[in-house]
Structure 1
Amino acid sequence: MEAMLDSGTAAGIKRIIVTGCGDSYSAAGAMRPALMQLSGIRACNTPDAIDFCRFYSDKKICKNYQPQEVLIIAVSFSGNSVQAAEALERANEMGAHSLLITRSSDSKAGAVAVHVFNVETPEGCNTPGLRSYYASLVALSAVGAYLGLCKGSLTESRFTEIKDQISDYVISFMAKINAIDDQMFDLAVKMKDLQKFEVIADWNEGFSAQFVEQKFIECGGVFCDHTTSEEFAHISFFQREPSTYGMVVMINAADPSFSRMRDTIGGCLKQHRPTLVVTDAAPQEFEVSPKKLDIPASFFEYFTSEKRDAESTEKPVFCQLPVAPEPWMSPLIDFIPGALLAGYQAAVNERFFFNGRYDFRNQIWSKDV
């Protein structure tokens, strides 16, 4: 880490901006709480690349700090993102510190960045981007912890503890991966004929949901969007033919919006939507009486009267995850079940990824499509 950014420079950072495109943007947003908590820097933003490059003024970038107190991080696994390179150029031109998180130091963005953090992922299949996404998540948490260590908001023992916590947490998840993999394949078979999906999550898990959305589109070319537990009630609940939507709901027991998400799941089931719940909570935590709904005037009950076939005996599928040592760590694994489901749903329909451009069976890209 010292080779990436010397400790003296790191200690002087008071403002962080992280940007990227596609998966990298999702990683930046998912790790924003980690960056703020670990570094002790509250002035942290994660705009998408086009917003940062074309709409952020110098004043908005600095936010009352000096340019030399600002760290601008671009995430690009390939290092060849034009917008990532532009973001780093912007940092250099105004005198801020530019840092690239990548696997390819020798790249377009790598040539621009003053500081480079090479994640050095091993060789292997990365399509459609799960390994690179995970590497970006870990790298951003490492940057946050390193800044905190240099600034004195983390002790050396706490820095080491965080590293061990991440490792133990991921290992505990990997102990379940075979069962989760089988579960997602079985669910993909059941959801084989669905052409529309929606992913629901709140706060930083909303960026995990965004990543899962991206995988559904990239792998199978199906319609998919992501929303929050609140916006589901305001908008998505009124979609035509709701039973034709496959739902992926992501929620942790410690989340402040747990009661609202529980109602959202109830709304999905009332509309006969096939629903997967990715959670660290026990399934019984989602059982709720209509009298305890966390919504005015029993909203879902009102809009699902007996005339609308409200009564449903359907149950969601629960994918149980280990409890994260700290809430900001949950995005390190919570994207995996939904991403597996997206890949398998494409596979059982014999759809090559990226609109026919990638044959997942033999890991070959086609230039003929």
Structure 2
Amino acid sequence: MAYVLEEMAAQVDALGGDVRALHGPVLAAARQVAAGWAKVEHVYVTGSGDSHHAALAAEMAFTELAGVVCLPLSALRLLKYGLPRAETARAALVVGVSASGGHPLVAEALRQADTRGARTLAVTSTAGSPVTAAAEAALVAPLPSLRPCPGLRTYQASLLALLLSAVELGRVRGRAAPGRDDLARELREVAGAVEETAAATWPRARHVAELIAAAPVTMVLGSGPGYGGARFAAAKLVEAAGAFATAQDLEEWEHVEALARPSGLPTLVIAAPGRSRARAVQVAARARERGRPVVVVADDRDGPAAFADLVLPLRGTVREEFSALRSSVFAGAVAFELASRLGVAPFSTRTA
């Protein structure tokens, strides 16, 4: 399979339109399947790679908007160590995420959860796939006309489906709150923030690529929904450019990787508005004090330039539960520019 680097750029620019196009049909499907979830108290969300990163990014939406305990576990970990016990499974919803629909561990986890009595849901972009056959219900977010490249639109489609599932789970569980009826509409309006953020990111993405191109390791840091975004961004740098990038929680970096050498390792920090922003600012400042080039993903109208070498701007206003849709946009643009600068093809160290 020939992977197409230019497709990454096209996919970044398509993200906002995808939110608008997928929102209506996925919401309608989520509303239908959620009718049977009123007794759900625990949600397990599983997948591998981008699918797991989407699960991490959606955890806050399930805990805050649906009022449930949410466990985002990788496919192997859920299957071998984390499935709900039979005596508690009736209050559990197991969500298996696989854009291709073909992940065998996700399908097996859904089958085993079903035999224990849990509700099961497949989230995928591929109708009629093994994961949909293994689940009680499915949310399908189709994305036609994709050329092979590191997944950007598929990640966002999975994340959007998870966020809509959280909104609908909260609705059937009676999580009444001021403005709650507008949550689904509010989620659709994130499309504008995604488009504005993409447009603002492109002029700066090349500078970030220049900053990290020669680095032996690039760190990407975040917490809350931003941790899922950090994991996703690190994966795109690896997949697109073959660059060694890794993600870490803000606080864990302070305790471990802050001590790593060489001192000039570039550090990308997701500092989106929300509960962990203040800590993200502190960590970015600490990284810069240690001699690390620092790139901050933030609303640059808040003035983060004082503690960063470069700022990747966030545009619009988005509640934290939905924020990963916006704060993940930079990943594809920076990965594209890095691969272009290094002259490599996606999923390969061969020259493009």
Question: TM-score by structure 2 length?
Answer: 0.84
CA deviation vs aligned residue, 1:115-170 (integer Å, no higher than 9, x gap): 111112242346211101111111011111112222222479733x2222223233
1:349 corresponds, among 318, 321, 342, to 342
2:73 corresponds, among 47, 51, 55, to 47
Alpha-carbon distance in 2 for matches of 1:79, 1:358: 31
CA apart distance, 1:356: 4.6
SS of 1:87 mapped into structure 2 = helix
Q: Which has the higher contact order (CA 8 A, sep 6+)?
A: 2
Q: 1:241 to 1:181 in 2, by over 3 A?
A: same
Alpha-carbon distance in 2 for matches of 1:156, 1:118: 30
Q: 1:351 to 1:285 in 2, by over 3 A?
A: closer
CA deviation vs aligned residue, 1:311-351 (integer Å, no higher than 9, x gap): xxxx5101221354321111111112133212311221111
Equivalent in the alignment of 2:311: 318
Residue 212 (structure 2) pairs with residue 186 (structure 1): no
Equivalent in the alignment of 1:304: none
Structure 1, gaps ≥5 residues long: 289-314, 360-369
Runs of 4+ in 1 over 6 A off after TM superposition: none
Alpha-carbon distance in 2 for matches of 1:186, 1:132: 26
Q: 1:285 to 1:69 in 2, by over 3 A?
A: same
Equivalent in the alignment of 1:328: 321
Summarize the alignment of residues 1-369 of structure 1 with structure 2, pairs less than 5 Å apart. Answer: 5-6=32-33, 8-41=35-68, 43-56=69-82, 58-59=84-85, 65=88, 67-125=89-147, 127-154=149-176, 158-159=180-181, 161-243=182-264, 245-256=265-276, 258=278, 260-280=279-299, 282=301, 284=303, 287=306, 315-322=308-315, 324-356=317-349
Alpha-carbon distance in 2 for matches of 1:13, 1:2: 20
Alpha-carbon distance in 1 for matches of 2:164, 2:91: 19
Contact 2:33 2:137 in 1 (8 A): no
Alpha-carbon distance in 1 for matches of 2:144, 2:328: 21
Q: Which stretch of the first structure deviates more once superposed, 127-136 or 266-275?
A: 266-275
Structure 2, gaps ≥5 residues long: 1-26
* Amino acid across the alignment from 1:40: G
CA deviation vs aligned residue, 1:37-75 (integer Å, no higher than 9, x gap): 22222x22111111110112543xx6x63x333211100
Alignment identity in percent?
Answer: 23
Alpha-carbon distance in 1 for matches of 2:179, 2:282: 41
Alpha-carbon distance in 1 for matches of 2:178, 2:55: 25
CA RMSD after TM alignment: 2.5
Contact 1:253 1:281 in 2 (8 A): no
Contact 1:145 1:154 in 2 (8 A): no
How many correspondences in the alignment? 325
